Structure 1
Amino acid sequence: MGELAERAGVTVKAVRFYSDSGLLPEAGRSAGGHRRYGPGALDRLGLIRSLRALGLPVPEVGRVLGQEDALADAVAGRLRRIGSQLAVLRWQEAALQSLQECGPGERAERLRLIGAVSVPPSTAALARFWRRWLPPRLPARLVAAVVDGAVPRLPDDPTPAQVLAFTRLHALVSAPCTGTGHGQPAAHRPDGGRPEVLYDGLIEAYALASPRLRARRAPREGEALDCFVSAYARSRGTRDTPAFRRGLSRTLAADPRIDRYWELTAELSGPSEPTAGAAHDWLCAALAAQTARPAG
């Protein structure tokens, strides 16, 4: 054991540990009871040290040594774990920078917001918010589509501003539902009609409007607005007429608002990716502009 340790440049204690763990089998014992190792022990010990240097736990090292095809799985698993650890560290780094950048008067509030979010952060609270906000009995495929479009993707390498935006977003959707602006907004329940028809059409209309938002075009009539209005008309079983558009514009202006949600989502996602809320506002503005013009 001492000779093997010396040749490998490790301690006797390390050789004994790997032997006792079953990673480094003995070839036999001397008459005095000392452990003896075969000619391949030095290479095997080098491989063990390499695998351990990569952070593989002892059981995983044993599996790699015992199975020729186990190395690829072990490396992939280790990369996944490292990725998760890095995500945690990046979030914590940005959160600490956010605390460092603010004044003493803001620090306690930011610390409270940051402390309320799990690490790594989860968007589960945002998904729950949307499932409560949507009309009941909406088909599961539409619920999934709306939630997927409304819940922002968390950045892999967040900035302090993005960490702060997400913590505020998390606080908004986790607050008691009051509908007064001082808590989570009241749920959206369209009056009558067929909500599945409405949301199918809205998803299509938002997709049509998004390229125009990316191009920073002013709200205007066109295919996206026609699709938007048609979704409301078809869901209510009526025709798209000028009178319907004027009434719809007034109704939408009085609808429950979740502007703060979309503001924070935009801060988190960045300006290059329009939110569904931005698309909705663009379409409402286009409708208001169209219906404000005198009939000609």
Structure 2
Amino acid sequence: MSIGTLSIGELAAQAGTTVKTVRFYSDRGLLPEASRSGGGHRRYGPEAAARLRTIRSLRSLGVPVPEIARVLDSGDTLEAVVARRLDDLGSQLAALRWREAALRALQDGTPEQVADHLELIGAVSVPPSTSALAHYWRRLLPVRLSTRLRAAVTEAAVPQPPADPTPGQVLAFARLHALVTDATDHCLVSHRPATTETHPDLLYDGLHEAYQLAEAALRADRDPGLAQALDCYVAAHARASGSRDSPDFRRALGVGLAAADHPVMARYWQLAGELTPELTLGAADLRLREALTASTAA
């Protein structure tokens, strides 16, 4: 027997656990043996009890065995492990909140709605992914649009699923997912502004600025700010089409934008608005078009 070493039973007693637990962690390399007795029994060093308590504490927090091994032997810091576990738990909690809201959506529906709601919700991953929505916008945006603007528009146009959704928001996201998944290429082209094909960056750069001005004006409830946003909005369309801002151009623009209305896009922005408290691009565009109509009528 080695002096100062512990038998497996002694180690288990010191750490307040069972022999079976000690053997489990020892077999997985987390508790190295100091030696073996003449009869082949495991012996552990005096530091093994503290090491075993650390292992059990980390396991109680759900840290996987391979990560514990990295903390003990490979220089991985405890802070890094804690950060990863918090990220994992955040994802798990988000998934649980989504599932709870989804189940309540099914519970709240009428018997006639349950099958439809189940099919919609079942098509969405948990936690929900926005990849289908981003793919929709990549197909919708003009081919010649710069990478910078393509990324900026997609980020602004794709609503993020709420962290703590209501049953209605789960259904709204599921319907939005179904809408973009079912959209055909013909549908996408039919509600793409004609001016975007020739000078897309001129148009989208100006629209981005106009939407920012409109959002600020609407949040502050300032009509002069909305008029400034409208001027920027019209100027973007004028530059993209090689025209200049004039009363005739504004009237023609209003008619053209109204003719380009598409039910899929209108439905998209309606559902997106249910998912975010922020002003969507669609809502900002609608307010600017209403302002354009009012200005030409005046």
Give the % identical residues: 58
Q: CA deviation at 1:71?
A: 1.4
C-alpha change, 1:282 and 1:137, in structure 2 (3 Å) is: same
Verify: 1:127 aligned to 2:134, yes or no. yes
Q: Secondary structure at the match of 1:120?
A: coil
Residue 286 of structure 1 corresponds to 291
Distance in 2, matches of 1:91 and 1:292, equals 47
1:163 to 158, 166, 170: 170
Q: CA deviation at 1:48?
A: 1.1
Q: CA deviation at 1:63?
A: 1.4
Q: Comparing both structures, which one devotes a greater share of its residues to helix? A: 2
Is the contact between residue 87 and residue 156 of structure 1 (CA under 8 Å) also seen in structure 2? yes
Number of residue-to-residue matches in the alignment = 288
Distance in 1, matches of 2:75 and 2:137, equals 48
Is the contact between residue 217 and residue 225 of structure 2 (CA under 8 Å) also seen in structure 1? no
Is the contact between residue 175 and residue 271 of structure 2 (CA under 8 Å) also seen in structure 1? yes
Residue 267 of structure 1 corresponds to 274
- Structure 1 residues without counterparts, runs of 5 or longer: none
Distance in 2, matches of 1:30 and 1:89, equals 50
Q: CA deviation at 1:8?
A: 2.0
Is the contact between residue 219 and residue 286 of structure 1 (CA under 8 Å) also seen in structure 2? no
Distance in 2, matches of 1:49 and 1:237, equals 71
Distance in 2, matches of 1:202 and 1:41, equals 66
Q: CA deviation at 1:178?
A: 7.7
Distance in 1, matches of 2:202 and 2:183, equals 30
**Amino acid paired to 2:261:** P
Residue 8 of structure 1 corresponds to 15
Q: CA deviation at 1:9?
A: 2.1
Q: Secondary structure at the match of 2:194?
A: coil
Residue 258 of structure 2 corresponds to 253
1:172-210 Cα offsets, whole Å, 9 max, x none, are 111142878xxx784414146522211111111111101
**Amino acid paired to 1:249:** G
- Structure 2 residues without counterparts, runs of 5 or longer: 1-7
Is the contact between residue 206 and residue 276 of structure 1 (CA under 8 Å) also seen in structure 2? yes
Residues 177-256 of structure 1: matches in 2 within 5 Å?
177=184, 186-191=190-195, 193-215=198-220, 222-256=227-261
Distance in 2, matches of 1:28 and 1:231, equals 79
Distance in 2, matches of 1:185 and 1:216, equals 35
Residue 76 of structure 1 corresponds to 83
**Amino acid paired to 2:212:** A
C-alpha change, 1:216 and 1:103, in structure 2 (3 Å) is: farther
Residues 18-167 of structure 1: matches in 2 within 5 Å?
18-67=25-74, 70-167=77-174
C-alpha change, 1:38 and 1:30, in structure 2 (3 Å) is: same
Q: Secondary structure at the match of 1:222?
A: helix
Which of 5-14 and 281-290 deviates more? 5-14
